[in-house]
Amino acid sequence: MGTSIYAKPTLPRIIVRPALASLALHALMLLALTVNWASQDDSRVITVKTIPKSINAKLVDISDFQPKPKPKPKPKPKTVSKPKPKPKAKAAPKPKPKPVTKPKPVAKPKPKPEPKPEPKLTAAELADLARAELSHAMEAEEQEQQQQATATAGELAASYAALIQRTVVSRWSRPPSARNGMEVLLALQLIPTGEIVSVTVVKSSGNSAFDRSAINAVEKAERFPELQKLPAGEFEKNFRRFRLLFRPEDLRY
Amino acid sequence: MKTVALALFNVVLLVVSLGAKAELVIEITQGVDDPTAIAVVPFAWQGSGTAPEDISVVVQSDLERSGQFAPVDRRDMLGFPSTQKDIFYRDWRAIETEYVLIGRVSSTDQMRIEYELFDVLRQASVYKGVEQGSPNEARMLAHRVSDRVYEALTGIRGAFATRLLYVAVTRVPQGKDHYRLTLADSDGARPIVLLESREPVLAPAWSPDGKHIAYVSFETTRPAIYRQNLLTGAREQLTNFRGLNGAPAWSPDGRTMAMVLSKDGSPDIYLMDLASKRLTRVTRHYAIDTEPTWMPDGKSLLFTSDRGGRPQIYRYDLASGQSNRLTYEGAYNARARVAQDGRNVVMVHQKSGRFHIALLDLVTDRLQILTSTELDESPSIAPNGSMLLYATKFQGRGILAAVSVDGGVKFRLPARDGDVREPAWSPYMSR
Amino acid sequence: MKHLPVAGKAITLLFTAAFLVACSGSDTKESDEAAAAAAAAEAARAAEQAAAAASSTEEARMREAAMAVGNVFYFEFDSSTLTPQAREALDAHIVLLKSNDQTVRLEGHTDERGTREYNMALGERRANAVRDYMAGSGVANYRVESVSYGEEQPVGYGSGESNWSQNRRVELK
């Protein structure tokens, strides 16, 4: 009996635990899902809609790691795009953040000198103050740099998205049956080398020539080698899988 | 705990896969619209002797003329496959070819062209077809191949297996000019003279089924409208009125012909019921009303009128009997022709003293000048609405030229002896 | 041209005389009458010929005047208004036409600018402008036929105003 008594409570525990676990998991899942829904709709979905030209001006020096001859001569990019971006891409994104941080350290030291007129301070106290001030300034800078870093991550993703956009735009030759507002949604799968490993139609336009023109624009690109420069996390987050929505706006009608 | 961990792992996977819903979406709203690189590989000849016609040459020049394609030079091809197993996609990709068209031609009593189109990038067949017919019609069969390929790749029906009418004139110094009403393939090949005259021949027009034509001939020293059966050559004089007898235009249903007569005074538009020959007067105005053309739905006509002082395009609604002016830009807009979509209207438009072909979009009301030469006239739109032919002058001679409806592609048709004018692009020919 | 109707009239007279002679038979009385009739016919014919001769010199003078001004009348671009020179030239032709009952043909032409069918209408408008001017001066419309050739039959081939101005015309035939 005793064993059975002892055994009894254990049984429910075994039963209850998974139930609890599954409940918790479901809640977690729901939470994860809803969080995902909410956040992704607002921030994770980077809809690069702007015309490439204007993106150029906005972005983190994208032109530095972008192959220049791309937009016009269609046949060339393949050979040109590979060797070029490698050496430059590393250097380019880094120098940028600095100029942005500049104004802040300059601004901070200024208000500090004001309390100085207090006469009773010893050299040691002054030194302490200076040290504190310095660490304070450094802290502030660090904070700003951190903010800067997160901002840069977002901007970086946007600039790579813009790069992909430009590459595809320069290879997209629409058939004469294409009309403004037609839409075909493609799902792309990439590997960290930037190579496209699959292209599938998620939502067809209903015009096979139009769909094919979109697929072939991607196929012609073959790979986006610049993505190799992305931190692994960034690649996984945004570029292992992403979608391309082809929706012409510049046609005659 | 193990189960929990597994369950958690599953959840993570689920979240990831469901999270796919929120993938990064990059919008592509622009393109470059470069011509598509296509290799038209010489078709393998499987008959005896030599092939009567190089089918692939005809197909290649058709596709090139459309402006939508950039055919690969034969000399750049690394091989001439004629079956799928012989296609090495990597080779074609290396020379930046997007599509490869291969084919086999055999001929006994009938010529048979088997062909297949491949997408190099996706390494897949796009279209496969067979065309059969008399060896005498080899070029027409080739144009049909072009039509199929064009449609598969552009989503628009091809218009290569169509024909042209035009008037060729040879000047005779100190004598009367020599007029030849001519019928040719859409690429200008195989011209056949339908009517020869020492008096003016003009305004050739097609019946909607492509079996009859109409034109104006001065052979009686006065203008008269004639209808001619292309198959039998049988000909009938439809009008013989005092004054103008001109600008015949078949209604889309083929039963009525719009025309210009001045028998009642000034030039006006009339409709002739072709079965009964009964006439109905459409416009009544002391000004010039001429150059009628039908909207594709047959419910209204466009015509040129100088009732406002200068020639402009008007639209006459058959149900209401009302005429409305359509063109306001420029002091001279005349001889409209409407594309099958009922939206694009091409016309002769004068700007700075020069006559160009312009396109009016009836939806946006935007007028776009398509040509840059200065004596451009007689625009005629292909049945698929992609290109239009027109007459112009080149080195002092009348020639035919073509331009795409977006103005992007332009070319001149091979020059022939004498002046060539008034092209009329046929409707789709019944197969 | 004008000689033909005169000769025709003379022939008619001769036939009438011959008919009368044939009908007269062998009767002397009748043959006398016949002789008298023949004489009368002869006299009439002579008179007719004299009149014809007189009118033909008058006509020759008018014809010369008409030929001197030419039979081509020119127009400004996209216009069917008669120029003062064209009116003056036409007046000479009208004088001639009013002296006879000939029919004439007015062929209207345009230069190569503009569309063919519109030019066909414009050519007719020019021919009709000439016709209306003639009608105003007493040449009945039914004697005048207007035919437009539009830009189909240029006199000056090639482009440029020197050619175009030659081609914007109405020819009287």
> 3-state SS of B118-186?
EECCCCEEEEEEEEEECHHHHHHHHHHHHHHHHHHHHCCCCCCCCEEEEEEEECCCCCCCEEEEEEEEC
What is the pLDDT, as a whole number, of residue A120? 58
> What does the pLDDT read at residue B289?
97
Query: C121, B288: Cβ pair inside 8 Å?
Result: yes
Amino acid, res. C39: A
pLDDT confidence of C12, banded at 50, 70, 90? Answer: very low
Say yes or no for a CB contact (<8 Å) between B202 and C118.
Answer: no
Query: d(Cα C172, Cα C71) in Å, to the nearest integer?
Result: 5
Q: Which of A107-121, A228-242, B202-216, C50-64 has the lowest mean pLDDT?
A: A107-121
Chains B and A touch (3+ CB pairs under 8 A): yes
What pLDDT does residue B175 have? 84
> Is the CB of B28 less than 8 angstroms away from the CB of A161?
no
Which among B69, B51, B49 has a CA at the least distance from the CA of B60?
A: B69
What pLDDT sits at residue A244? Answer: 95
Taking alpha carbons only, the member of B166, B150, B243, B164 closest to residue B202 is B166
> What is the length of chain B?
431
Three-state SS at B395: coil
Total count of residues recorded for chain A: 253
Per-residue pLDDT, C72: 94
Cβ-contact C117, B293 below 8 angstroms: no
Q: Radius of gyration (Cα) for chain B, nearest Å?
A: 26
Asked if residue B409 lies in contact with residue B399, where contact means CB atoms within 8 angstroms, the answer is no
C115 has a chain B CB within 8 A of its CB: yes
Nearest-CA distance A81 → chain B (Å): 15
Q: Which two tokens stand for residue A150?
A: 């997160």
If pLDDT is split at 50, 70 and 90, which confidence band does C55 have? low
Compute the distance between CA of residue B211 and CA of residue C34 in angstroms, rounded to an integer: 72
| Gap between the Cα atoms of B212 and B218, Å rounded | 19
Q: Is the predicted pLDDT of residue C126 greater than 70, yes or no?
A: yes
Q: Which residue spans within A122-247 are E strands per DSSP?
A: 184-190, 196-203, 241-246
Question: Distance from B18 to chain A by nearest Cα, in Å?
Answer: 8
Contacts of B20 in chain A (CB under 8 A): 241
8 A C-beta contact, residue B41 and residue B100: yes
Q: What is the pTM of this model?
A: 0.74
d(C-alpha B326, C-alpha B172), whole Å: 41
In which residue are the tokens 């160009």 written? B356
CA C70 to chain centroid, in Å, comes to 13
Q: How far is residue B186 from each of residues A121, A228, B191, measured CA to CA in Å?
A: 99, 52, 10
- The predicted pLDDT at position A119 comes to 52
Q: Which chains touch A (3 or more CB pairs under 8 A)?
A: B
Kindly state the helix (H) or strand (E) to which residue C159 belongs, with its residue range: none
Band the pLDDT of A249: cuts 50, 70, 90: very high
Neighbours of C166 (CB within 10 A): 16
Query: Which chains have at least 3 CB atom pairs separated by less than 8 Å from chain B?
Result: A, C
d(CA B226, CA B248): 9
- Measure the CA–CA gap between A22 and B284, rounded to whole angstroms: 86
Residue B267, both tokens:
């030039």
Q: How far is B101 from chain A (nearest CA, A)?
A: 16
Q: Which of B171, B177, B246 sits opposite C120 (nearest CB)?
A: B246
User: Where are the extended beta strands (E) located within A48-152?
Assistant: none
Q: Does A47 touch chain B (CB under 8 A)?
A: yes
- pLDDT score of C32: 62
Classify the phi-psi angles of A183: left when phi > 0, otherwise alpha if psi is within -120 to 50, otherwise beta. beta
Euclidean distance between CA atoms B355 and A179, whole angstroms: 30
The model's confidence at residue A52, banded by pLDDT at 50, 70 and 90, is very low
Chain B residues in contact with C144 (beta carbon < 8 A): none
Q: Give the pLDDT of residue B425.
A: 97
**C-alpha–C-alpha distance, residues B214 and B237, integer Å:** 10
For the ranges A74-78, A155-159, B266-270, C52-56, the maximum mean pLDDT occurs at: B266-270
Do residues A145 and A179 lie in contact, with contact meaning Cβ atoms separated by under 8 Å? no
Q: Kindly list the strands in the beta sheet with B419-425, ordered across the sheet, starting from the edge strand earlier in the chain.
A: B192-197, B178-185, B163-170, B419-425
pLDDT band at A169 (very low <50, low <70, confident <90, very high): very high
Encoded tokens for B332: 């001279």
On whether any CB of chain B is under 8 Å from the CB of C112, the answer is: yes
User: What pLDDT was estimated at residue B48?
Assistant: 82
Is the pLDDT reported for residue C130 higher than 90? yes
Q: Residue B287 gets which letter from DSSP?
A: S
Confidence class for position C14, pLDDT limits 50, 70, 90? very low
Chain B residues touching residue A248 (CB < 8 angstroms): 29-31
Buried b (16+ CB within 10 A) or exposed e, B152-164: bbbbbbbbbbbbb
Per-residue confidence band for A113, with pLDDT thresholds at 50, 70 and 90: very low
Q: Letter for the amino acid at B343?
A: R
Amino acid sitting at position B138? A
Instruction: For B151-299, list the strands marked E by DSSP.
Output: 163-170, 178-185, 192-197, 201-206, 212-217, 224-229, 235-237, 245-250, 256-261, 268-273, 279-281, 289-294
pLDDT tens string, chain B, 431 residues long: the values are 333 333 333 333 333 333 444 678 999 999 888 899 999 999 999 988 888 889 999 999 999 999 899 999 999 999 999 999 999 999 999 999 999 999 999 988 899 999 999 999 999 999 999 999 999 999 999 999 999 999 999 999 999 999 999 999 998 888 889 999 999 999 999 999 999 999 999 999 999 999 999 999 999 999 999 999 999 999 999 999 999 999 999 999 999 999 999 999 999 999 999 999 999 999 999 999 999 999 999 999 999 999 999 999 999 999 999 999 999 999 999 999 999 999 999 999 999 989 999 999 999 999 999 999 989 999 999 999 999 999 999 888 899 999 998 888 888 887 677 899 999 999 998 65
